[in-house]
Structure 1
Amino acid sequence: MKFNHLGIPTKDRFEGEIDIPHLKMTVSNHESNPYGIQWMRFWEEAPYPDLVKTVPHAAFVVDNLAKELAGKKVIIEPNSPSEGLTVAFIEVNGAPVELMEYREK
Structure 2
Amino acid sequence: MDYKFSHVGIPTAENKKWDGFYEPGKIHYTDFANDAFNIEFIQCDADSNMPEMFQNVPHVAYEVDNIEAALEGKEILVETFSPGEGVRVAFIVHNGAPVEFMEIAK
Shorter-chain TM-score bucket reads over 0.9
What corresponds to 1:87 in structure 2?
Answer: 89
Question: SS at the partner of 1:41?
Answer: strand
Range that drifts further, 89-98 or 22-31: 22-31
Cα separation, 2, equivalents of 1:77 and 1:44: 20
Give the letter for the 1:72 counterpart. K
Correspondence 1:52 to 2:60: no
Whether the aligned pair in 2 keeps the contact of 1:25 and 1:40 (CA below 8 Å) is yes
Deviation at 1:21, TM superposition (A): 1.6
Q: 2:45 pairs with 25, 43, 67, which one?
A: 43
Cα separation, 1, equivalents of 2:23 and 2:51: 18
Give the letter for the 1:66 counterpart. E
TM-score calculated relative to the size of structure 1? 0.94
Cα separation, 1, equivalents of 2:70 and 2:52: 23
Whether the aligned pair in 2 keeps the contact of 1:23 and 1:81 (CA below 8 Å) is no
Superposed CA deviations along residues 17-39 of structure 1, whole A, max 9, x for unmatched, are 42222321100000111100000
TM-score calculated relative to the size of structure 2? 0.93
Question: SS at the partner of 1:99?
Answer: strand
Give the letter for the 2:44 counterpart. F
Cα separation, 2, equivalents of 1:69 and 1:83: 21
Q: Note the residue ranges of structure 1 that are not aligned, 5 or more in a row.
A: none
Question: SS at the partner of 1:13?
Answer: coil
Whether the aligned pair in 2 keeps the contact of 1:2 and 1:62 (CA below 8 Å) is yes
RMSD (Å) for aligned C-alpha atoms: 1.0
